[in-house]
Amino acid sequence: MKIAIASGKGGTGKTSLAVALLHANAERARLLDCDVEEPNCHLFLSHTVIGHKAVELLIPQVNPNLCKLCGKCVEACQFNAIAIAGNQVMIFNELCHSCGGCARICPHGAIQEFPVKIGELSQSRCKNEAELLTGTLEIGHASAPAVIKAAKKALPLQDVPFTLIDSPPGTACTFVAAVEDSDFVFLVTEATPFGLNDLKLAVEALLNMELPFAIIVNRIQSETNLITDYANQQGFPIWLQIPEDRHIAETYARGGNLLDVKPELKKVLRELLDRCQP
Protein backbone atom coordinates (compact mmCIF):
# COMPACT_ATOMS: atom_id res chain seq x y z
CA MET A 1 0.00 0.00 0.00
CA LYS A 2 1.04 3.58 -0.66
CA ILE A 3 1.31 6.00 2.27
CA ALA A 4 2.07 9.66 1.60
CA ILE A 5 3.73 11.87 4.21
CA ALA A 6 2.66 15.44 3.62
CA SER A 7 2.32 18.80 5.34
CA GLY A 8 0.77 22.11 4.43
CA LYS A 9 3.83 23.95 5.65
CA GLY A 10 7.54 23.31 5.18
CA GLY A 11 9.83 22.60 8.11
CA THR A 12 7.35 20.63 10.22
CA GLY A 13 9.59 17.59 10.28
CA LYS A 14 7.98 15.78 7.37
CA THR A 15 11.23 14.50 5.87
CA SER A 16 12.53 13.62 9.30
CA LEU A 17 9.43 11.53 10.00
CA ALA A 18 9.58 9.85 6.57
CA VAL A 19 13.18 8.84 7.21
CA ALA A 20 12.39 7.55 10.71
CA LEU A 21 9.43 5.56 9.35
CA LEU A 22 11.75 3.93 6.83
CA HIS A 23 14.29 3.05 9.53
CA ALA A 24 11.62 1.55 11.76
CA ASN A 25 10.14 -0.50 8.92
CA ALA A 26 13.28 -1.20 6.90
CA GLU A 27 12.45 -4.79 5.95
CA ARG A 28 8.93 -4.04 4.75
CA ALA A 29 8.97 -0.50 3.30
CA ARG A 30 10.65 1.64 0.68
CA LEU A 31 10.75 5.42 0.41
CA LEU A 32 10.05 7.62 -2.63
CA ASP A 33 11.33 11.18 -2.27
CA CYS A 34 8.79 13.11 -4.34
CA ASP A 35 9.83 16.55 -3.11
CA VAL A 36 11.49 16.84 -6.52
CA GLU A 37 12.46 20.52 -6.26
CA GLU A 38 14.34 19.94 -3.02
CA PRO A 39 14.80 16.21 -2.43
CA ASN A 40 16.45 15.99 1.00
CA CYS A 41 15.82 12.43 2.29
CA HIS A 42 19.16 11.23 0.88
CA LEU A 43 20.99 13.65 3.20
CA PHE A 44 19.71 11.68 6.19
CA LEU A 45 20.17 8.10 4.96
CA SER A 46 23.47 6.36 4.35
CA HIS A 47 22.95 4.72 1.00
CA THR A 48 24.60 3.51 -2.19
CA VAL A 49 23.22 4.67 -5.50
CA ILE A 50 22.65 1.66 -7.72
CA GLY A 51 20.94 3.13 -10.73
CA HIS A 52 19.81 6.24 -12.57
CA LYS A 53 17.02 6.72 -15.01
CA ALA A 54 16.13 9.82 -16.99
CA VAL A 55 12.57 11.17 -16.84
CA GLU A 56 11.56 12.25 -20.29
CA LEU A 57 8.74 14.19 -21.90
CA LEU A 58 7.80 14.24 -25.56
CA ILE A 59 8.86 17.62 -26.93
CA PRO A 60 8.09 18.82 -30.47
CA GLN A 61 10.67 19.49 -33.16
CA VAL A 62 10.02 21.29 -36.42
CA ASN A 63 11.22 19.97 -39.75
CA PRO A 64 12.22 23.20 -41.58
CA ASN A 65 11.84 21.51 -44.97
CA LEU A 66 8.15 20.92 -44.42
CA CYS A 67 7.32 24.03 -42.34
CA LYS A 68 5.51 26.83 -44.19
CA LEU A 69 5.70 29.28 -41.24
CA CYS A 70 1.91 29.46 -41.12
CA GLY A 71 1.86 30.12 -37.38
CA LYS A 72 -0.88 27.63 -36.48
CA CYS A 73 1.36 26.03 -33.85
CA VAL A 74 2.08 29.39 -32.19
CA GLU A 75 -1.64 30.02 -31.98
CA ALA A 76 -2.41 26.54 -30.63
CA CYS A 77 0.23 26.53 -27.88
CA GLN A 78 -1.44 27.60 -24.61
CA PHE A 79 1.88 27.64 -22.80
CA ASN A 80 3.53 30.32 -24.95
CA ALA A 81 6.36 27.95 -25.78
CA ILE A 82 6.50 28.63 -29.55
CA ALA A 83 7.39 31.72 -31.58
CA ILE A 84 8.13 32.46 -35.23
CA ALA A 85 11.05 34.81 -35.72
CA GLY A 86 12.79 35.56 -39.00
CA ASN A 87 12.25 32.38 -40.98
CA GLN A 88 12.32 29.84 -38.20
CA VAL A 89 9.99 28.34 -35.62
CA MET A 90 11.52 28.51 -32.15
CA ILE A 91 10.37 26.02 -29.50
CA PHE A 92 11.25 26.54 -25.84
CA ASN A 93 11.47 23.04 -24.37
CA GLU A 94 11.41 24.14 -20.74
CA LEU A 95 7.96 25.71 -21.18
CA CYS A 96 6.47 22.77 -23.07
CA HIS A 97 3.88 20.73 -21.20
CA SER A 98 4.00 18.00 -23.81
CA CYS A 99 0.32 18.21 -24.74
CA GLY A 100 0.94 17.32 -28.39
CA GLY A 101 -1.35 20.12 -29.60
CA CYS A 102 1.13 21.68 -32.04
CA ALA A 103 2.02 18.40 -33.72
CA ARG A 104 -1.66 17.60 -34.07
CA ILE A 105 -2.64 20.95 -35.55
CA CYS A 106 0.25 21.41 -38.02
CA PRO A 107 -1.36 21.23 -41.50
CA HIS A 108 1.96 20.29 -43.15
CA GLY A 109 3.01 17.46 -40.87
CA ALA A 110 6.16 19.41 -40.06
CA ILE A 111 6.13 18.79 -36.30
CA GLN A 112 7.27 15.55 -34.73
CA GLU A 113 7.75 14.78 -31.04
CA PHE A 114 10.91 13.39 -29.45
CA PRO A 115 11.74 12.47 -25.85
CA VAL A 116 13.74 15.08 -23.89
CA LYS A 117 15.12 14.74 -20.35
CA ILE A 118 13.41 16.90 -17.71
CA GLY A 119 14.53 15.14 -14.57
CA GLU A 120 16.05 12.06 -13.08
CA LEU A 121 15.19 9.15 -10.83
CA SER A 122 17.97 7.66 -8.77
CA GLN A 123 17.60 4.35 -7.07
CA SER A 124 19.58 3.61 -3.90
CA ARG A 125 19.96 0.85 -1.42
CA CYS A 126 20.22 2.13 2.14
CA LYS A 127 22.52 0.68 4.75
CA ASN A 128 19.44 -0.82 6.41
CA GLU A 129 18.68 -2.62 3.10
CA ALA A 130 15.59 -0.56 2.35
CA GLU A 131 15.19 1.09 -1.03
CA LEU A 132 15.26 4.86 -1.55
CA LEU A 133 14.05 6.32 -4.83
CA THR A 134 14.74 10.02 -5.39
CA GLY A 135 13.11 12.14 -8.07
CA THR A 136 14.95 15.31 -9.05
CA LEU A 137 13.64 17.99 -11.38
CA GLU A 138 16.21 19.63 -13.62
CA ILE A 139 16.51 23.27 -12.55
CA GLY A 140 14.60 25.46 -14.97
CA HIS A 141 11.93 22.97 -15.98
CA ALA A 142 8.25 23.57 -15.31
CA SER A 143 7.02 19.99 -15.17
CA ALA A 144 7.59 18.88 -11.57
CA PRO A 145 4.36 16.80 -11.56
CA ALA A 146 5.69 14.71 -14.47
CA VAL A 147 8.80 13.74 -12.45
CA ILE A 148 6.64 12.91 -9.43
CA LYS A 149 4.37 10.70 -11.53
CA ALA A 150 7.41 8.95 -13.00
CA ALA A 151 8.83 8.28 -9.52
CA LYS A 152 5.54 6.73 -8.45
CA LYS A 153 5.44 4.49 -11.53
CA ALA A 154 9.00 3.19 -11.11
CA LEU A 155 9.14 -0.50 -10.30
CA PRO A 156 10.52 -1.48 -6.89
CA LEU A 157 13.81 -3.34 -6.44
CA GLN A 158 11.88 -5.97 -4.57
CA ASP A 159 8.24 -6.05 -3.71
CA VAL A 160 7.57 -4.70 -0.21
CA PRO A 161 4.20 -4.15 1.47
CA PHE A 162 4.61 -0.40 2.11
CA THR A 163 5.66 2.40 -0.21
CA LEU A 164 6.26 5.66 1.68
CA ILE A 165 6.02 8.89 -0.30
CA ASP A 166 7.71 12.06 0.96
CA SER A 167 5.53 14.77 -0.64
CA PRO A 168 6.41 18.37 -1.47
CA PRO A 169 5.16 20.95 1.07
CA GLY A 170 2.15 23.12 0.35
CA THR A 171 -1.07 22.18 -1.45
CA ALA A 172 -0.24 23.14 -5.06
CA CYS A 173 -0.17 20.85 -8.09
CA THR A 174 3.01 19.06 -6.96
CA PHE A 175 1.34 18.10 -3.66
CA VAL A 176 -1.66 16.74 -5.56
CA ALA A 177 0.56 14.72 -7.90
CA ALA A 178 2.42 13.20 -4.94
CA VAL A 179 -0.55 12.27 -2.73
CA GLU A 180 -3.18 11.33 -5.33
CA ASP A 181 -3.95 7.60 -5.54
CA SER A 182 -2.30 6.99 -2.15
CA ASP A 183 -4.09 4.62 0.20
CA PHE A 184 -3.44 6.79 3.22
CA VAL A 185 -1.87 10.15 4.10
CA PHE A 186 0.00 11.25 7.23
CA LEU A 187 -0.31 15.00 7.69
CA VAL A 188 2.58 16.31 9.74
CA THR A 189 2.06 19.59 11.54
CA GLU A 190 3.46 21.50 14.47
CA ALA A 191 1.56 22.79 17.47
CA THR A 192 1.64 26.48 16.53
CA PRO A 193 -0.84 28.90 14.92
CA PHE A 194 1.15 28.64 11.65
CA GLY A 195 1.01 24.85 11.88
CA LEU A 196 -2.76 24.91 12.44
CA ASN A 197 -3.43 27.36 9.61
CA ASP A 198 -1.42 25.31 7.14
CA LEU A 199 -2.89 22.04 8.41
CA LYS A 200 -6.40 23.33 7.64
CA LEU A 201 -5.37 24.05 4.03
CA ALA A 202 -3.91 20.57 3.61
CA VAL A 203 -6.99 18.97 5.18
CA GLU A 204 -9.25 20.89 2.78
CA ALA A 205 -7.21 19.58 -0.15
CA LEU A 206 -7.35 15.99 1.09
CA LEU A 207 -11.10 16.12 1.75
CA ASN A 208 -11.57 17.36 -1.84
CA MET A 209 -9.59 14.38 -3.04
CA GLU A 210 -11.45 12.02 -0.70
CA LEU A 211 -8.27 10.57 0.76
CA PRO A 212 -8.16 9.07 4.27
CA PHE A 213 -5.60 10.69 6.58
CA ALA A 214 -4.33 10.94 10.14
CA ILE A 215 -2.57 13.87 11.81
CA ILE A 216 0.87 13.72 13.38
CA VAL A 217 1.72 16.62 15.67
CA ASN A 218 5.37 17.53 15.98
CA ARG A 219 7.27 19.87 18.31
CA ILE A 220 4.66 20.25 20.98
CA GLN A 221 5.85 23.07 23.17
CA SER A 222 4.29 24.31 26.41
CA GLU A 223 0.67 23.75 27.26
CA THR A 224 -1.13 24.12 23.98
CA ASN A 225 -4.12 22.21 22.72
CA LEU A 226 -4.29 24.12 19.45
CA ILE A 227 -4.16 21.10 17.15
CA THR A 228 -5.92 18.63 19.46
CA ASP A 229 -8.88 20.96 19.91
CA TYR A 230 -9.24 21.44 16.17
CA ALA A 231 -8.91 17.72 15.45
CA ASN A 232 -11.41 16.74 18.14
CA GLN A 233 -13.91 19.33 16.98
CA GLN A 234 -13.70 18.11 13.40
CA GLY A 235 -13.41 14.44 14.28
CA PHE A 236 -9.99 13.96 12.65
CA PRO A 237 -7.67 11.34 14.19
CA ILE A 238 -4.31 12.26 15.72
CA TRP A 239 -2.01 9.23 15.67
CA LEU A 240 1.22 10.51 17.09
CA GLN A 241 2.40 13.47 19.15
CA ILE A 242 6.08 14.29 19.41
CA PRO A 243 7.20 16.83 22.03
CA GLU A 244 9.52 19.73 21.31
CA ASP A 245 13.00 18.50 22.15
CA ARG A 246 16.24 20.32 21.63
CA HIS A 247 18.07 16.98 21.32
CA ILE A 248 15.98 16.05 18.30
CA ALA A 249 16.83 19.36 16.63
CA GLU A 250 20.54 18.92 17.41
CA THR A 251 20.56 15.36 16.11
CA TYR A 252 18.83 16.47 12.96
CA ALA A 253 21.46 19.21 12.57
CA ARG A 254 24.09 16.46 12.55
CA GLY A 255 22.24 14.52 9.87
CA GLY A 256 20.82 12.03 12.35
CA ASN A 257 17.20 11.00 12.70
CA LEU A 258 14.40 10.80 15.23
CA LEU A 259 15.11 7.20 16.24
CA ASP A 260 18.69 8.07 17.27
CA VAL A 261 17.21 10.21 20.06
CA LYS A 262 14.05 8.27 20.80
CA PRO A 263 14.65 4.59 19.99
CA GLU A 264 11.46 3.79 21.90
CA LEU A 265 9.47 5.30 19.03
CA LYS A 266 10.40 2.40 16.76
CA LYS A 267 7.48 0.29 17.97
CA VAL A 268 5.06 3.19 17.51
CA LEU A 269 6.35 3.90 14.01
CA ARG A 270 5.78 0.26 13.06
CA GLU A 271 2.26 0.36 14.44
CA LEU A 272 1.53 3.52 12.45
CA LEU A 273 1.89 1.61 9.20
CA ASP A 274 -0.18 -1.33 10.45
CA ARG A 275 -2.99 1.02 11.39
CA CYS A 276 -3.26 2.27 7.79
CA GLN A 277 -4.49 -1.13 6.63
CA PRO A 278 -8.22 -0.98 6.04
Q: Which residues bind other proteins (CB under 8 A)?
A: 8-13, 15, 37-38, 40, 43-44, 74, 76, 78-86, 88, 90, 92, 94-95, 97-101, 104-105, 140, 142, 144, 169-173, 175-176, 190, 192-194, 197-198, 201, 204-205, 208-209, 221-222, 224, 226, 244, 246, 249-250, 252-255
Residue 277 CB, shortest distance to other proteins, in Å, is 27
In whole angstroms, give the CA distance from residue 25 to residue 110: 53
Measured CA to CA in angstroms, residue 32 lies from 67, 72, 118, 173, 183 at distances of: 43, 41, 18, 18, 15
Q: Which residue, 26 or 84, has its beta carbon nearer to other proteins? A: 84
CB-neighbour burial class of residue 228 (10 A; exposed 0-12, middle 13-18, buried 19+): middle
**Closest CB to other proteins among 157 and 211?**
211
> Smallest distance from the beta carbon of 254 to other proteins, in angstroms?
7
Beta-bridge partner residues of 88: 85
* Complex with other proteins: residue 154 or 209, whichever CB lies closer: 209
* Cβ nearer to other proteins, comparing 25 with 169: 169
Q: Which of 24, 107, 21, 206 is nearest to 32 (CA)?
A: 21
For residue 11, which amino acid is it? Answer: G
CB atoms under 10 Å from CB of 20, counted, come to 22
- Secondary structure string (H, E, C) spanning 93-146: HHHCCCCCHHHHHCCCCCEEEEEEEEEEEEEEEECCCCEEEEEEECCCCCCHHH
Q: Name the minimum Å distance from CB 142 to other proteins.
A: 5
Helix (H, G, I), strand (E, B) or coil at 65: coil
- Closest among 29, 22, 21 to 1, alpha carbons compared: 29
Q: Among residues 46 and 277, whose Cβ is nearest to other proteins? A: 46
Minimum Å gap between C-beta 168 and other proteins is 8
Closer residue to other proteins, CB minimum distance, 63 or 277: 63
Dmax (CA) of the chain? 73
Smallest separation, CB 250 to other proteins (Å): 6
Minimum distance of other proteins from residue 27's CB (angstroms): 26
